Structure 1
Amino acid sequence: MLHNIMVISYFVSFMLFVGCESKVQLPKNLVVKAVFAFGDSIVDQGSNNHIATVVKSNFLPYGKDFNGGIPTGRFCNGKTPPDLIVEELGIKEFVPAYLDPNLKSEDLKTGVSFASGGSGYDPLTATIVSAIPLSTQLNQFKEYIGKLEGLVGKEEANYILGNSLFLVVAGSDDFANTYFTAGVRFKQDINSYTDLMVEKASEFVQELYNLGARKIGIFGIPPIGCLPSQRTLAGGLDRGCAKEYNEAAQFANEKFSTAIDSLSKELPQSKLVLLDIYNPLLDLIVNPQKYGFEEVERGCCGTGTIEVVVLCNKFSGTCEDDTKYLFWDSYHPTEKGYRILVDQILKKSINNFL
């Protein structure tokens, strides 16, 4: 029973991005050769298709609006943040998973995703749902570097890595699956747990830097208490936003900000940027009409209250018009939601990577 609750709650972790109809004006002197992603389901481009975990989305209705309607393992109806970012930067159409058996050599030069749905900064988080932990994602990246050097030579590989954008998206599952659901909150207070998250995140960023990464965007924690599944599980009879969850996210974000500022001073030539997702997503939830949304408390899949991953399937049914919904399932946004968020994030933060 506990495992089922944790799996349901996993649907509750997340982080976002986007791109609007008006293209973001990119700085002329910004060079981005490739985009790489690490973390959880927000940037998992199909990694979990190739491991033994229940956290999968390689079946309909997932991916119904992506590349001909064939599910790829993206936790969305269409494109996800990495896809939208490479699109905005003019690099390529989408970012493939590193574990994709059909991965082309050209994709090694322009970026891949190592992310795994259900992963987090706390090593226990990935273990709960048998996801690929950040430590293994890092090992895969080391393997990737060897392949890239074999393809273009060490000098060119170093140039690509030094002029690429690295996205780190994690932390939501640490709260949703591990801290609040798995009972860690009864053994550890929120202050010490967020200290653990920040410590592990800092270690991960340091490792990326040591391997050649210089432009690293670390996503903050979103208002997880307002995700449809978290409303259902912890929002009371009226399914309001779970206040305690949102307060935990804000608390963690404050610590992440301090830690990233400190790391930036220690790592020469690094551009470490904390990307705020909390406030942009909350604004979409509080002011949906401003963005053309009609439903922000339920997902498009099934009842929209709890369906996610295996619970969101071909028998669930979907809403008539997903462009009116902020969320695709009970914890991942629709492509439209991601586009709006990515657009805002890039406009606000892209200059910080110069």
Structure 2
Amino acid sequence: MIVLSLIVPFPITGAYVDANRSIKLFVFGDSYVDTGNRDSTARSWKEPYGITYPRIPAGHFSDGQVFTEYIASRMGIKSPTPYRFRKLRPIKYGMNFAYGGTGVFDTLVAAPNITKQIDLFEQLVQEKIYTTDDLKFSTALVSASGNDYGIYLARGGSLEGLPAFIVSVVNQLGSDLQRIHDLGVPRVAIMGIQPLGCLPQFTKEYSYEKCNSTGNLVALFHNLLLTTMVEELKPESKFVVLLMYDAFISAMKKFENETGDFPIFM
């Protein structure tokens, strides 16, 4: 299995679906939500990605749909156009600025991190590609799935210094979420981190038969800080954390109970 796609509750949709309103979705982040911004040299444009949906590789880092497409469907709109194709495809449903492999800070992928993705969004707002009325009923989806932590360790970062680094990542995310809201997006959803210790690079040492507890603790600490930070933002607007950790664990237990096999994520 290449990617296990998950649907988790998204309480800021549904009630806003109205054919007479300018409903849009703006997406920022990494491979969990990228629908084609990486160029044709990226593996997302090669098989087996896309073999389930849309049946050919299409720039999604999945064998089927990614989270953006599930959320857009819940909102009753089409998936927003990747920024890369903004001059070639309709932009009335919003825009996707996410690039697979990126993070809150710079990673080894030569593509815009979340702050720079928001810069691209701000430029479109300044150019009035999207007006105040366009943004009035819009939602932002932000994914930061842990690439920053992988790069931190790859660059020789210590376990002792990891908690402080997690704090810096979440603090920057807080600034990013506030900035998206200040640009005119009233509802902002941030995806929590999935159980990092259950990814193949961590389960390999256990012959892919169990998760690494340290990796999962990193994810839990990140999610705790993220939830606390979002609670502090809530008085100003509608911010929500999507509980990816719980969704992954639930799906893993279901898969294991039904098949007797340990699920493999990529």
- List alignment gaps of at least 5 residues for structure 2: none
Q: Give me the whole-angstrom Cα distance separating, in 1, the residues matched to 2:243 and 2:217.
A: 15
Q: Give me the whole-angstrom Cα distance separating, in 2, the residues matched to 1:15 and 1:192.
A: 30
Cα pair 1:95 1:112 within 8 Å, conserved: yes
Quote the offset at 1:263 in angstroms.
1.7
Task: Work out the percentage of aligned pairs sharing the same amino acid.
Answer: 26
- The partner residue of 1:60 within 35, 47, 55 is 47
Of Structure 1 and Structure 2, which has the larger fraction of its residues in helix?
1
Map of 1:78 onto structure 2: 64
The aligned amino acid for 1:39 is: G
Map of 1:349 onto structure 2: none
Q: Larger relative contact order (C-alpha < 8 A, sep ≥ 6)?
A: 1
Residues 295 and 115 of structure 1, relative CA distance in 2, 3 Å threshold? farther
- List alignment gaps of at least 5 residues for structure 1: 1-13, 299-326, 332-354
Q: Give me the whole-angstrom Cα distance separating, in 2, the residues matched to 1:215 and 1:44.
A: 20
Post-superposition Cα deviations, 1:93-148, rounded to whole Å, max 9, x if no partner, equal x33311126632xx322122100111112x24x2x22232112211211233245x
- The partner residue of 1:173 within 125, 138, 147 is 147
**2:260 is aligned with 1:297:** no
Map of 1:110 onto structure 2: 93
Quote the offset at 1:201 in angstroms.
0.2
- 3-state DSSP of counterpart to 1:108: coil
**2:260 is aligned with 1:280:** no
Residues 117 and 27 of structure 1, relative CA distance in 2, 3 Å threshold? closer
- 3-state DSSP of counterpart to 2:234: helix
Cα pair 1:230 1:242 within 8 Å, conserved: yes
The number of equivalent residue pairs is 260
Q: Give me the whole-angstrom Cα distance separating, in 1, the residues matched to 2:116 and 2:28.
A: 10
Cα pair 2:30 2:143 within 8 Å, conserved: yes
The aligned amino acid for 1:215 is: R
- The partner residue of 1:95 within 73, 80, 105 is 80
Aligned-residue RMSD, C-alpha: 2.9
Cα pair 1:223 1:249 within 8 Å, conserved: yes
Map of 2:228 onto structure 1: 258
Q: Give me the whole-angstrom Cα distance separating, in 2, the residues matched to 1:110 and 1:95.
A: 5
Map of 2:122 onto structure 1: 142
Map of 2:206 onto structure 1: 236
Q: TM-score, normalising length from structure 2?
A: 0.86
Q: TM-score, normalising length from structure 1?
A: 0.66
Map of 2:189 onto structure 1: 217
- 3-state DSSP of counterpart to 2:38: helix
Post-superposition Cα deviations, 1:61-89, rounded to whole Å, max 9, x if no partner, equal 2112223x231110011211111221222
Map of 1:39 onto structure 2: 29
